[in-house]
């Protein structure tokens, strides 16, 4: 589902003509199977977020190649990347990134609007997913009227609205208390088992990493290990 082959990446910082090159990732070979949950862990500055941004096409590797869902995306144009993201990728963020002036329903249905689906189809699909993540009764509420856990559930519904085969999550529980974290992790496991969705989780949290089939460690831009787990920590869905 995800193949990163000999990925190297570096940033240039400083004024033009006086840039300093800062290497971030070194010879990364990463393969994620369909329906797998993979956690990527490491200290701040280890390259985790850069790796996720490369997977999502927001930055391009200095060298190496990337295949997602069977397609070589390394050289896609910005427009083609936008279309690919809409069709194949879902995103979960620590900050939720909901639009304050839109209701929970409107935030959740946004990918369907961008896709150009008719209103009746959008309403049916959005309400089904809001129901599935346990937030349907708050569909008419604005983000400011929702708790952190409720906002994250809206964000999860939005990320799954177009049935993406891959969901990329950047510290998805970072803004949640322990109870809401537990519920979100249970939901991710349920969606993985029920839909076969592939998840890549960037995290500092051992609890988040515990639901993964594999945990990959990055240190100073180097991939150190990919620990396979014989069993996955079980969470009950709510």
List the domain boundaries for the chain: 2-96+163-228
Please say whether the beta carbons of 183 and 103 come within 8 A: no
Q: Is the pLDDT score of 235 beyond 50?
A: no
pLDDT (average), residues 36-63:
92
Residue in this structure with the two tokens 């809206």, named with its chain if needed: 154
Helix pair angle (104-115, 119-132), 10° resolution: 130
Homologous superfamily, domain 2-96+163-228? P-loop containing nucleotide triphosphate hydrolases (3.40.50.300)
pLDDT digit string (tens) for 177-198?
888 888 888 888 988 998 899 9
Q: Decide which of 14 and 113 is more confident.
A: 113
Q: Is the pLDDT score of 41 beyond 70?
A: yes
In sequence order, the 6+-apart residues with CB closer than 8 A to the CB of 219 are 42, 43, 46
H or E stretch at 201: strand 198-202
Residue in this structure with the two tokens 């990055």, named with its chain if needed: 218
Residue in this structure with the two tokens 């995290």, named with its chain if needed: 203
Whole-prediction pTM value? 0.84
């Amino acid at each position: 589902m995800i193949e990163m082959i000999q990925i190297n990446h570096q940033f240039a910082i400083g004024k033009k003509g006086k840039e300093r090159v800062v290497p971030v990732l070194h010879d990364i070979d990463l393969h994620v199977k369909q329906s797998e949950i993979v956690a990527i862990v490491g200290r701040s500055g280890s390259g985790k977020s850069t790796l996720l941004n490369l997977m999502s096409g927001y930055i391009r590797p200095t060298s190496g190649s990337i295949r997602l869902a069977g397609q070589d995306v390394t050289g896609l144009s910005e427009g083609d990347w936008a279309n690919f993201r809409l069709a194949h990728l879902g995103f979960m963020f620590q900050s939720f990134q909901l639009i304050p002036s839109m209701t929970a329903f409107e935030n959740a249905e946004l990918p369907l609007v961008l896709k150009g689906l008719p209103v009746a189809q959008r309403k049916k699909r959005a309400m089904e997913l809001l129901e599935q993540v346990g937030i349907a009764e708050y569909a008419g509420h604005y983000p400011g009227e929702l708790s952190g856990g409720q906002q994250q559930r809206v964000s999860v519904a939005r990320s799954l609205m177009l049935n993406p085969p891959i969901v990329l999550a950047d510290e998805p529980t970072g803004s949640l208390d322990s109870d809401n974290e537990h519920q979100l992790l249970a939901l991710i496991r349920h969606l993985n088992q029920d839909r076969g969705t592939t998840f890549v989780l960037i995290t500092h949290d051992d609890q988040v990493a515990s639901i993964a089939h594999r945990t990959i460690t990055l240190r100073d831009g180097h991939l150190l290990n990919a620990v396979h787990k014989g069993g996955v920590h079980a969470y009950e869905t709510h």
